[in-house]
Structure 1
């Protein structure tokens, strides 16, 4: 493994990169050609470029791009695309470059990548390599969050026909339908010698500073060696809606020291009944689960003034 300064210098001088864009999404399809042109204009030698229109082929295309041995693998898409790329590049001598082309772009926001395409390309050209933490649930790395409760039930129960007809709107529609009969979970979180109990419809464990495109707290990020566990409301269903709105409106003013946040290095989570788990928006088993951190597991190209612990 090269040092981070050595890899940064290689990217700035050699400009050897590969590009993978999720063109299944509307923004990815619309901006793919422009992204490739901007990267070429910035001096990047693209060893290969992969527009991926079939979601099932994304991981294969990312693996092919990495196997070409670039210094920088540039992934264009939303949080699902970035999370897949991050799992592939963990502990490898390749930096991940981000082109935020999704709806919420939580990981890009967390690590300070501009959401405008031209500004994001400028970071790839003139930034520096830093490393950030990845979360671990079982043996699976994640960039953003683990969700237990309603969010996982939505992933499990959203009808494919509704997704084809309405796209992303299928998820909130399904959530509102499920919430009318959703039973709250009694969740126990054991961490650092203490036990915490929540009765809630939704529990998140985050590795980063953003969720649903909004800050979780003012002092959470992806390089702080901390996981942030928090319920969204209590047993009454109306609290889930009210607390979701409150978190979105006030996250930038809250801190990890406030309730209901638990900032820990690792945790064990169990529920009063087996509950489905979603990891960065993909289904992953059931509770009970252990969630931990893999510090400095991923190298990314970030703005030149980014902190790097």
Structure 2
């Protein structure tokens, strides 16, 4: 039996539109399912656990990265597969799994039931799927979720532009920090850090390949650090970053490992899967083969 969790508000109402299509198809197929709807943040975690307890053998999310990540919190180590009908503004996790954005095509993948096991991130006391971002991107994520831009751009199907609009807004107030990055016990210090991204998959922010070589089942974290005294050099590099063509230089550093600890002065904001989660210090670990997904 399928357990569906629907975020009707995802993607500026896209979640509701997708659910109507999926509901009609499920009724045609007469497939047994339980359906729950999110009403507030963190609902999907509780709903996923409840649906499994009530007999759901597969959990299917109709929503964005945040809803998918919340549901995964309840499914790590359970072996219960997670299916996705992407309905958010970014859908980076669904994209990383090769899941199409069209409702009917995504449903076909869910019903085919091809399972794979992937790694997850452990960010202090919570789990994540795509990227843990520390620094200006976390401030951007917080601004995106609080901003009227998101709803407006989603309404005209230009959700990715929300991220860029909020980048320039965040630049007005963000100040880089002195950071200590400890990777697998090896400690390094960096001045004027703007962003540290610890990635389990390549993209975030609506298909920005911050760590192009990240793979979700290789047991490794890919880390990208951006540093500069002023914003100018990073803004000039932004077109390359957006295309995943950025390379290591005086302003960009790449690392790899399994356990990353970030300390910063002053403290930096932290986001995971597009949701603000707190401030540094933060530990990000890769948890091997922890989640079963359908893709």
The interval holding the TM-score normalised by the smaller chain is 0.7 to 0.9
So what's the TM-score if we normalise by structure 1? 0.80
Name 2:69's counterpart in structure 1.
Answer: 83
> How far apart are the structure 1 equivalents of 2:114 and 2:137?
35
2:220 is matched with: 226
Asked if 2 retains the 8 angstrom alpha-carbon contact of 1:32 and 1:51, the reply is: no
Q: Output the TM-score relative to the length of structure 2.
A: 0.84
Which among 286, 289, 298 is matched to residue 291 of structure 2? 298
- C-alpha contact (below 8 Å) 2:269/2:279 kept by paired residues: yes
Over 3 Å counting, the alpha-carbon distance change for 1:296 and 1:261 in structure 2 is same
Counterparts in 2 of 1:206 and 1:219: CA distance versus 1, 3 Å: closer
How many aligned positions are there? 282
Question: Any idea what the Cα deviations from partners look like across 1:215-253, whole Å, max 9, x if unmatched?
Answer: 3455322111111111245232123333332111135x9
Q: Is the 8 A contact 2:182 2:188 kept in 1?
A: yes
Q: Is the 8 A contact 1:71 1:93 kept in 2?
A: no
> Matches of 2:42 and 2:69 in 1, distance apart?
14
Counterparts of 1:84 and 1:226, CA distance in 2? 22
In 2, are the aligned partners of 1:42 and 1:125 still within 8 Å (CA)? no
- What is the Cα deviation at residue 53 of structure 1? 4.9
Q: Distance in 1 between matches of 2:24 and 2:280?
A: 46
- Residue 186 of structure 2, aligned match among 177, 186, 194: 194
Q: Is the 8 A contact 1:99 1:120 kept in 2?
A: yes
Task: Confirm whether residue 22 of structure 1 aligns to residue 7 of structure 2.
Answer: yes
**Corresponding residue for residue 105 of structure 1:** 91
- Mapped pair 1:271 → 2:264: yes
Deviations, residues 139-187 of structure 1 (Å, cap 9, x unaligned): 2111111111112234556795747975777765454233134211222
Is the CA contact 1:227–1:264 (under 8 Å) kept in the aligned structure 2? yes
* SS at 1:208 equivalent: coil
What is the match of residue 117 of structure 1? Answer: 103
Gaps of 5+ in 2: 154-158
Structure 1 window deviating more from structure 2 (122-131 vs 215-224): it is 215-224
Within a 5 Å distance, the mapping from 1:36-47 to structure 2 comes to 36-42=23-29, 44-46=31-33
